[in-house]
Chain A
């Protein structure tokens, strides 16, 4: 009886040291340029016919506020604005599936509840225009308060929508509205 227990404990301890000792390293593609890097840069960048970086940054700050972001940090001398917002992440489809599984099998499936969306906007003065590049990412938590998603947001329509709004914001800024 005692021996059986001891061997179980030994196996458990071994498994734990195995898990702790075997640390994952950075994936090789994490810091490498990809064939799609250029396409992504184009998707995330628009050029505006102005050389006034301060005005563009101010329009970006205004737009972030329009979209409900909080400005976390900024550095105008480098052309940077950072924002984030916390929002609900409940997906009705996921909730329905979770309820169905609970009813049918009596098992609880975690559902996503809230998310933090981060954005960084970087301006880059060209010869006679201003490039604006924006990148989004988000962290999603489930109802057990565990992180369920860590991801970049790469939906082309989202970027298109963002830049349409930014064009409007730059126009409003120029008109001082």
Chain B
């Protein structure tokens, strides 16, 4: 009888702790980043030797469509494109395009796979390879 009571109290306190920490943990997602900010930027960013932003933005949309995405939104002034790919999973991608110096354009992509941020270099590498091919330009690593 005593053990049963102790056990109930134990389980209840564990539950309370879980609820408490769970709430804190889910809120902390707002500013969560697993990778270091600098490393993440370098994984997600490439430079291309062109100053034609519109061409790059159109190439981004064409590449996303090639990869099976439906475009959700795009803004020429801001230089952003967002798309989603559904294939038993949901892969959402935002791509931003901005000028870099006199001769280059920077492209940054960030993706979300189901409920997680994508921080693995390989998918980004694949995306930039495909984008480079569609523009006949080489994607250059940015440090």
- CB within 8 Å of B: which residues of A? 1-2, 5-6, 9, 23-28, 30-33, 37, 40-41, 44, 72-73, 75, 77-80, 82, 118-120, 122, 124, 133, 135-139, 150-152
> Can you list 6 A-B contacts with CB-CB less than 8 angstroms, sorted by A residue number?
A2-B3, A2-B6, A120-B65, A120-B70, A120-B72, A120-B83
* B88 and A150 form a contact (CB under 8 A): yes
Total contacts A-B at CB 8 Å: 122
Tell me which residues from 72 to 119 in chain B have a Cβ below 8 Å from any Cβ of chain A: 72-76, 81, 83-91, 111, 113-114, 116, 118
- Shortest beta-carbon distance, A140 to chain B, in Å? 10
Question: For the complex, what is the distance from the CA of A145 to the CA of B116, rounded to whole Å?
Answer: 22
Write out, one digit per residue, whether chain B residues 48-83 have a CB within 8 A of any chain A CB (1) or not (0): 000000100110011001111111111110000101
Question: For the complex, what is the distance from the CA of A151 to the CA of B91, rounded to whole Å?
Answer: 11
- Shortest beta-carbon distance, A150 to chain B, in Å? 4
Chain B residues positioned under 8 Å from A139 (CB to CB): 86
- Shortest beta-carbon distance, A32 to chain B, in Å? 5
Q: Nearest CB to that of B69 among chain A residues?
A: A135
Chain B residues positioned under 8 Å from A133 (CB to CB): 62, 65
* B7 and A25 form a contact (CB under 8 A): no
Question: For the complex, what is the distance from the CA of A120 to the CA of B86, rounded to whole Å?
Answer: 13
Closest 3 CB pairs of A and B: A120-B71, A2-B3, A150-B86
- Shortest beta-carbon distance, B46 to chain A, in Å? 14
- Shortest beta-carbon distance, A146 to chain B, in Å? 14
* B54 and A30 form a contact (CB under 8 A): no
Question: For the complex, what is the distance from the CA of A139 to the CA of B72, rounded to whole Å?
Answer: 14
Question: For the complex, what is the distance from the CA of A133 to the CA of B58, rounded to whole Å?
Answer: 12
Tell me which residues from 3 to 20 in chain B have a Cβ below 8 Å from any Cβ of chain A: 3-4, 6-7, 11, 14
Tell me which residues from 26 to 46 in chain B have a Cβ below 8 Å from any Cβ of chain A: none
Chain B residues positioned under 8 Å from A27 (CB to CB): 89
Q: Nearest CB to that of B78 among chain A residues?
A: A75
Chain B residues positioned under 8 Å from A31 (CB to CB): 67, 91, 123-124, 126-127, 130
* B86 and A26 form a contact (CB under 8 A): no
Chain B residues positioned under 8 Å from A2 (CB to CB): 3-4, 6-7
Question: For the complex, what is the distance from the CA of A33 to the CA of B4, rounded to whole Å?
Answer: 60
Q: Nearest CB to that of A152 among chain B residues?
A: B68
Chain A residues positioned under 8 Å from B116 (CB to CB): 23
* B70 and A118 form a contact (CB under 8 A): yes
Question: For the complex, what is the distance from the CA of A72 to the CA of B86, rounded to whole Å?
Answer: 18
Chain B residues positioned under 8 Å from A25 (CB to CB): 113, 118, 120
Partner of B74, one of A5, A9, A40, A80: A80
- Shortest beta-carbon distance, B11 to chain A, in Å? 7
Q: Nearest CB to that of A120 among chain B residues?
A: B71
Partner of B123, one of A9, A26, A33, A77: A26
Chain B residues positioned under 8 Å from A41 (CB to CB): 65-66
